[in-house]
Amino acid sequence: MDKNTIIETERLILRRYELSDADDVVEGLNNINVTKYMAFAPYPYKKSDALEFINNSIEKNLYNFAIVLKSENKVIGGVQLRNIDYVQGTAHGGIWINEKYQGKGYGTEAWGARIKYAFEVLGLRRLENGYFKGNIKSWKMQEKFGYKKEGIKRKRYISLATGETVDECITGLLKEEWIDYNASHSKKETKD
């Protein structure tokens, strides 16, 4: 990812993580209600964990975006594109939002911007995502954008936060489904 890549939405900025984001990342991820739905985030989540994650993101030039709330200039979550395969036109990824900022539509706003970036800027044709069984909020958010359930990977991960072995529900979104979603939503907006 180009270090100058910035995605801006109405209320958010998605940008490369910076070392100065570590305290905000810890605030968001040192919460079992958030990390229990993540495969690779330990609990408790320490500053050393945040610094290792941020440094890894920078050094490996990963598509890990900090979600910055403009009104507070604060990192309230993160969204990523990973396992990008330009030959096949596919990618995976996830999202997390600080529990204090959930229920306000920030996750949906960031997720939509991520999808648009993947399809329009990176030229991908398919996004595969997932969610831990029981994480209904994640499924509902994905479903809003046209994602389809594609199956379950049984005992896919051992959650670092809980130590439990969890199933991952697999979802997928094709570029044409996203285009259809956008077309149907722009029609609704013009009617309002």
Convert the pLDDT of each residue in 151-171 to its tens digit. Answer: 999 999 999 999 999 999 999
pTM of the model: 0.93
Does 1 fall in a domain? no
Report the distance separating Cα 18 and Cα 1, nearest Å: 14
pLDDT tens-digit map of 97-111 = 999 999 999 999 999
Is the pLDDT score of 190 beyond 60? no
Contacts of 170 (CB under 8 A, 6+ apart): 128, 129, 130, 149, 150, 151, 152, 153
Query: Has residue 187 been placed in a domain?
Result: yes
pLDDT bracket for residue 185 (50, 70, 90): confident
- The pLDDT assigned to 183 comes to 83
* Residue 32 DSSP SS3: helix
How many domains does the chain contain in total? 1
Enumerate the β-bridge partners of residue 128.
Answer: 172
- The whole-number average pLDDT for the span 81-108 is 97
Answer yes or no: is pLDDT of 186 > 90: no
Q: What is the mean pLDDT of residues 62-82?
A: 97
Q: How many CB atoms lie within 10 A of CB 106?
A: 20
Q: Is 132 inside a domain boundary? A: yes
Kindly report the CATH number assigned to the domain that includes residue 114.
3.40.630.30
Query: Residue 149 falls within a domain, yes or no?
Result: yes
- What does the angle CA 83 – CA 118 – CA 92 come to, to the nearest 5 degrees? 30
pLDDT digits (tens, 9 = 90+) for 121-158: 999 999 999 999 999 999 999 999 999 999 999 999 99
Phi, psi of 152 (to 5 degrees): -130, 130
Domain membership of residue 17 as a residue range: 6-191
Q: Dihedral, CA atoms, 168, 171, 52, 26, nearest 10 degrees?
A: -80
Q: Which two tokens stand for residue 29?
A: 């991820």
> What pLDDT is attached to residue 100?
98
Q: What was the pLDDT predicted at 192?
A: 47
Residue 94 maps to a domain: yes
Q: Kindly give the pairing relationship between strand 90-92 and strand 126-132.
A: parallel
Amino acid 184: pLDDT: 82
In-domain check, residue 171: yes
Q: Give the whole-angstrom CA distance, residue 109 versus residue 86.
A: 25
Which tops the pLDDT comparison, 177 or 3?
Answer: 177
* pLDDT mean over 80-103: 96
Q: In whole numbers, what is the pLDDT of the chain averaged over residues?
A: 94
